[in-house]
C-alpha cells in the first residue's frame, strides 16, 4: 500500500473508532457545550459529568436521558428513554450515535445585555421615539433543565448564551413598553423601579425555559425624540 493509501486507511480507522469516554472538554464556563462525534459511541462507554453540569443524551433531535454529577455507564439499562427511541432490545450491545449536551448549572453573575441599536416606539406623550438601553443580569439553570435543552435543540441558530439572553430580554423589554403604557420619562428618572417591575415579568417567562433569574438591572435608558 502506498503512503496515500496508508493515510486514508488510518483516517478511516480513526473516524470509525468507538468513543469510550465522554466528558466536557471545551470551555466549562460556557452555559452549554455539545458533544457530537463523527465516531460512534461504544456500548458501555463512560459519561463523566462534573459537579457544575448536567448532561443529556439527544437522539435525532429528541431529548432522551439526563444525568447529574458522576460517572455513568452508557448501556441500554442506564439510558431507557434513548433505548426506547432507538427501539433497542434489552440485550443491545452495539455501538451507537448520539449527541450529548452538557449544561452548566452554576450561577452566572453580572452578565451584560443591551440593545444592538435603538428601536422605534410610539409613546402617548412623546409620540415617535427611539429607545436605547442596557444593563446586567444574573441567572442559573435548574438542575433538571429539560425545557432549556429542548429549546436549544429546536433553535439551532442560537450560538451563544449572550445572544440568547440578549434577544430574549430585548424582545420582552420592548413588548412590555408597548403594552404596559408606562411613562418613558419615569423610567429615565427611576430606572430601578422599572427594573423591579420588568424583573418580575422576565423571571416568570424564563421559568418556562428552566432558567432562574436572580437579578436584573437597567443601567442605562435613553429616549431619542425622532
**pLDDT tens by residue, 66-94:** 999 999 999 999 999 999 999 987 778 88
Question: Quick one: DSSP state of residue 18?
Answer: P
- Confidence tier at 15 by pLDDT (50, 70, 90): very low
- The domains of the chain are located at 16-104, 107-225
Return the number of other C-beta atoms located less than 10 Å from residue 32's C-beta.
21
The domain at 107-225 falls in which architecture? 2-Layer Sandwich (3.30)
CA–CA dist 115, 178 (Å, integer): 16
Mean pLDDT of 95-119: 92
Q: Is residue 192 scored above 90 in pLDDT?
A: no
Contacts of 147 (CB under 8 A, 6+ apart): 208, 209, 210
pLDDT, position 16: 45
Q: Is residue 146 scored above 90 in pLDDT?
A: yes
pLDDT, position 11: 36
Which position has the higher pLDDT, 220 or 7?
220
Alpha helix (H) residue ranges in 137-225: 146-154, 161-180, 184-189, 191-207
Whether 207 and 141 have beta carbons less than 8 Å apart is answered as no
pLDDT, position 104: 93
For β-strands 127-141 and 99-104, DSSP reports them as unpaired
Q: Is residue 191 scored above 50 in pLDDT?
A: yes
- Reported for 91-97, long-range contacts at CB under 8 A and 24+ positions apart, including other chains, are 92/43, 93/43, 94/43, 95/18, 95/40, 95/41, 95/42, 95/43, 96/40, 96/41, 96/43, 97/40, 97/41
Q: Is residue 142 scored above 70 in pLDDT?
A: yes
CA dihedral (18, 24, 26, 30) positive or negative: positive
pLDDT, position 63: 95
Percentage with pLDDT > 70 across the chain: 90
pLDDT, position 12: 31
**pLDDT tens by residue, 151-182:** 888 876 666 788 889 999 999 998 888 888 78
pLDDT, position 17: 63
The overall average pLDDT reported for the chain is 85
pLDDT, position 89: 79
Mean pLDDT of 116-135: 88
pLDDT, position 37: 66
Amino acid at each position: 500500500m502506498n503512503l496515500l493509501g496508508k493515510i486514508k486507511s488510518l483516517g478511516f480507522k480513526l473516524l470509525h473508532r468507538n468513543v469510550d469516554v465522554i466528558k466536557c472538554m471545551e470551555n466549562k464556563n460556557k452555559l452549554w457545550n455539545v458533544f457530537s462525534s463523527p465516531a460512534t459511541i461504544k456500548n458501555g462507554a463512560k459519561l463523566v459529568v462534573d459537579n457544575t453540569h448536567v448532561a443529556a443524551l439527544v437522539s435525532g433531535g429528541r431529548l432522551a436521558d439526563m444525568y447529574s454529577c458522576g460517572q455513568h455507564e452508557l448501556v441500554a439499562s442506564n439510558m431507557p428513554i434513548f433505548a426506547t427511541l432507538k427501539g433497542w432490545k434489552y440485550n443491545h450491545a452495539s455501538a451507537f450515535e448520539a449527541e450529548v449536551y452538557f449544561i452548566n448549572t452554576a450561577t452566572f453573575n453580572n452578565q451584560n445585555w443591551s440593545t444592538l441599536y435603538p428601536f422605534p416606539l410610539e409613546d402617548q406623550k412623546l409620540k415617535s421615539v427611539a429607545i436605547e438601553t442596557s444593563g446586567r443580569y444574573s441567572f442559573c439553570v435548574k438542575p433538571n433543565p429539560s425545557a432549556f435543552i429542548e429549546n436549544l435543540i429546536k433553535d439551532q441558530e442560537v450560538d451563544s448564551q449572550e445572544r440568547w439572553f440578549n434577544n430574549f430580554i430585548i424582545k420582552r423589554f420592548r413588548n412590555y413598553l408597548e403594552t404596559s403604557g408606562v411613562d418613558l420619562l419615569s423610567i429615565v428618572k427611576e430606572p430601578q423601579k422599572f427594573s423591579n417591575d420588568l424583573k418580575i415579568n422576565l423571571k416568570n417567562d424564563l421559568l418556562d425555559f428552566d432558567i432562574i433569574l436572580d437579578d436584573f438591572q437597567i443601567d442605562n435608558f435613553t429616549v431619542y425624540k425622532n
